Amino acid sequence: MRRFHVPGQYEPGQKVCLTGSEARHAIRVLRLGPGDAIEILDGVGNRSVARIEKAEADRVTALVTETLLAPPPALSVTLALAFLKSDKMDFVVNSATQLGISAFVPFEAKRSVARPNAEKTDSRIKRWERIAREAVKQCGLSVTPRIERPVDLEALCSMGRDFDFALAFWEEDKTPLSAVAPQNPPKSVLVVIGPEGGLTESEIEGMKDAGFKSASLGPRIMRAETAAVSALVLVQYLFGDLRGRS
C-alpha cells in the first residue's frame, strides 16, 4: 500500500486530501485513482488507511476507513552530527531516519569543514525534513524525526542532561561502547558524531565534564557519515529495536 504524509489526525469516515507534490506523485507517477487504498502518515505516530474517491490534477480526496496507532519506540535516539558537506548531511538524515532516530541536531565543531549559514538554515532544515519524510514512507515507519536548528558545542553539552545516556564517539578513544554502557537499558540516548577531521580533545573533555561518555567505533578510521550510521546501528542493537532476541 502506498504511503503519503499528511499532517493531522483522522478518524474513520473523515475525508483526507492530498495536494501539491503528494497529489502529483499519486496521480502522475503511481497512477492511483478512485477505489485504490492508500496509507496516510501524520509524522507523529498515527497511521490511517483511506480509499481514494476522487483524483484530480493536483488534488486527491480519500475516505478514511481505518486508523492505526503505532506503539511508541522502546528507545528514543537523537543524533547530533557536526556539520558536513551538504550531500553528506543529506545522506545521514536519510539513513538515520531509516534507523529510527527521534531527532536530528546539527552542530558546529572546531574542525567542521562546512559551517552553518544563517541565510540558508531555514532552507536546509526544510530540505532535511523532506528527506526524513520520504525515508519514513520508504521504510514503513510512523514517526518522522524532528529536525532541530543548529547549535554550538555549549548548547549541545547542555542538551546531554535531558537524556538517560549521552555518548560521543571519538576515533582517539579505545574504549568499547559495552564498557561505558549503563547497566539499566536507557530510554533515551544522545549520540554525537564529529566532523571529517574529528572532534578535538578539548571538545571531548568538555562533553565529559557535562556528563557525556566517550567510546570507540573500533580500529577503523571511518568517514563521518559512515561513523554516524555505524554508531546508530550499534546503539539500536544494544538498547533498541535491533537488539538480539534469545
Domains 2-69 and 76-239 belong to one CATH topology = no
Q: What percent of the chain has pLDDT over 70?
A: 99
Contact by Cβ (8 Å): 188, 74: no
Domain ranges (residues) in the chain: 2-69, 76-239
- Measured CA to CA, the distance from residue 241 to residue 152 in angstroms comes to 30
Contact by Cβ (8 Å): 87, 30: no
Residue 1 has pLDDT above 90, yes or no: no
Contact by Cβ (8 Å): 208, 184: no
79 DSSP β-pair partners: 104, 191
In this prediction, residues 25-35 reach a mean pLDDT of: 91
User: In this structure, which CATH number among 1.10.3720.10, 3.30.70.1050, 2.40.240.20, 2.40.30.10 belongs to the domain 2-69?
Assistant: 2.40.240.20
Report the top-level CATH class of 76-239. Answer: alpha beta
φ and ψ at residue 40, rounded to 5 degrees: -105, 125
Tens-place pLDDT, residues 33-88: 999 999 988 877 788 899 999 998 889 999 999 988 777 778 999 999 999 988 99
pTM of the model: 0.82
- Measured CA to CA, the distance from residue 62 to residue 49 in angstroms comes to 9
Give how far the C-alpha of residue 77 lies from the chain's centroid of Cα atoms, to the nearest Å.
8
